[in-house]
Amino acid sequence: MLAFVLLMLLAYAGLLFPTSFQNNNKNIFILAGQSNMSGRGGINNVTWDGVVPPQCQPNPAILRLSSDLNWVEASEPLHKDIDVNVTCGVGPGMVFANTVLDNKNLSFSIGGVVGLVPCAIGGTKISEWARGTYLYNQLVSRASAALQDGGGSIQAVLWYQGESDTVNPDDAALYKGRLERFFMDLRADLQSPLLPIIQVALASGQGPYIEKVREAQLGIDLANVKCVDAKGLQLEPDHLHLTTQAQVQLGEISESIRGGRFKWRKEFCAVQEPEATTDDRRQGRDDCWEGKGKWKLEGMAE
């Protein structure tokens, strides 16, 4: 209902242009990482089933930066013209954006739109995202292009990567340092030293060192970097990629964490820093507490 009212207000104010998506109040979110950010929900072999849940439906107030750097109305699969060597399906981006718009405590004005900048590429290691690499340069270039019309600002980076770093013990051992360096370099090059980053701790991996990489991800201690632990989310039959429903759950939780809020439901607990969760602990939710400033997800799989 809130999304409908929002669109009516946008249309009434003349801020919604069916033929032009230039808007001076875009709230931009960068989507980066590998296949589970790109989206493989609903993929069977090399075919997407085409199922788009209600939480992932298009909304004229949600835009996507296309591969040719034009703003277009966003729809699944978000990475279809970015991660071009594979079949893309449902990822967390659309549900995240719809949840941003549906939230009653919007952190931006009613006239704003959500601008998604897909950058994820499947099968990539963290070393392939280091400063100076093709993927890093493309990410920075696309993020910069998203700001070129002078409208809006980058609100956060959503990062889900690491499955490819679970194969080699050296990659797993070096993961934490490489990830921290990537985050710091990206903030510096985007000229936003405290740019919010939401990273996802692995639900799966391609090799035997999943826990080593997860330990690195959960141990990141940088300002304005928050973590969602995806362990326990339902996987596709390949035991690597999140299902469509799991992506819906991930996107909803990520938005709650971005705003420092908790949408407590009986089926899950969320990850957050302890100072933001003191009241929740007092209310008897210690069963979700892992210590060291982290909350775990429970009962997420359908």
Annotated catalytic residue, options 35, 164, 204, 256: 35
Annotated catalytic residue, options 49, 107, 238, 239: 238
Annotated catalytic residue, options 241, 254, 256, 280: 241
Q: Where are the alpha helices (DSSP H) in the chain?
A: 2-12, 35-38, 93-102, 134-146, 169-189, 210-218, 244-258, 278-282
DSSP state of 208: S
| Beta strand pairing call for 225-229 and 197-201 | parallel
Is 239 noted as a catalytic residue in this protein?
no
CA dihedral 20, 22, 24, 29 (to 10 degrees): 120
Is 241 noted as a catalytic residue in this protein?
yes
Residue 68 CB burial class (10 angstroms; 0-12, 13-18, ≥19): exposed
Report residue 27: phi and psi, to 5°: -105, 105
Residue 287 CB burial class (10 angstroms; 0-12, 13-18, ≥19): exposed
Q: Are the CB atoms for 226 and 196 separated by under 8 Å?
A: yes
- Hey, what are 79's tokens? 């990475």
Strand boundaries in the chain, DSSP class E:
26-33, 43-44, 47-48, 62-65, 71-73, 113-118, 153-160, 197-201, 225-229, 289-291, 294-295
Is 35 noted as a catalytic residue in this protein?
yes
CA dihedral 40, 41, 43, 49 (to 10 degrees): -140
Which residues are identified as catalytic? Answer: 35, 238, 241
